[in-house]
Chains A and B, each alone.
Chain A
Amino acid sequence: GAGVSQSPSNKVTEKGKDVELRCDPISGHTALYWYRQRLGQGLEFLIYFQGNSAPDKSGLPSDRFSAERTGGSVSTLTIQRTQQEDSAVYLCASSSPGTGLNQPQHFGDGTRLSIL
């Protein structure tokens, strides 16, 4: 079946502009995660959704970052007034309800964001 789909695959924008990144999880997956991977660094957790609610926003680096999820499916990560340090690959993952927390996370190919 289809995996996690992210768009755009690449985004180049000027400093100060707003950007929207989209994630379409695997059908039926209720949990959705956003991570960030800066060049040469490990993955950092940004935000977690269960259904349409976001019980854990602890990883969002500043108030310029926001995310929403509608219909328990597609999620959008928005970065306002982008800065050069926002340049990174933004990865989305989803997991099925399953039993408790013991479900693997499946990742998309990411959006490579470059801020000029």
Chain B
Amino acid sequence: KQEVTQIPAALSVPEGENLVLNCSFTDSAIYNLQWFRQDPGKGLTSLLLIQSSQREQTSGRLNASLDKSSGRSTLYIAASQPGDSATYLCAVKWGSARQLTFGSGTQLTVLP
């Protein structure tokens, strides 16, 4: 069964700290992997998409890496800010499907 897991479910850090969010997936035959943030009561905002042929993608203070062989992706957030507080979701598209399969998310709180 194709599944996506995110650990921890919640994380609290002081402002300014660098942090890493983890995502693991079964079945390494992925098409791509997408990281989203979700603010309370809102939809999902796409942060980064990594194609299966790529190792990492960067956008501003965010860097996402992909290691297909180990079934893992990480989202690195540099110099965290209170505005980064949100739930971060990892989603995988496998080659046999069009839809995304989501992890349950990591709820991040950055304390001022």
Contacts and interface: CB of A to CB of B under 8 A. Distances in A.
Interface of A: 4, 6, 31, 33, 35, 41-43, 45, 48, 50, 55-56, 59, 91, 93, 101-102, 104-110, 112
A93 B89 CA distance: 15
Contact of B31 (A55, A56, A101): A101
Contacts of B98: 31, 33, 48, 50, 55-56, 101
Given A102-B32, A104-B49, A48 B43 contact: no
19 contacts: A31-B98, A35-B99, A35-B102, A42-B105, A43-B89, A43-B100, A45-B99, A45-B101, A48-B99, A50-B98, A56-B97, A91-B44, A102-B31, A102-B32, A104-B34, A105-B34, A107-B36, A107-B44, A107-B45
Helix, strand, loop or mixed for chain B's interface? Answer: strand
Given A42-B102, A59-B99, A105 B89 contact: no
B103 A109 contact: no
B99 A42 contact: no
Contacts of B26: none
A107 B99 CA distance: 13
Interface string B88-99: 010101010111
Interface string B5-34: 000000000000000000000000001101
Contacts of B51: 102
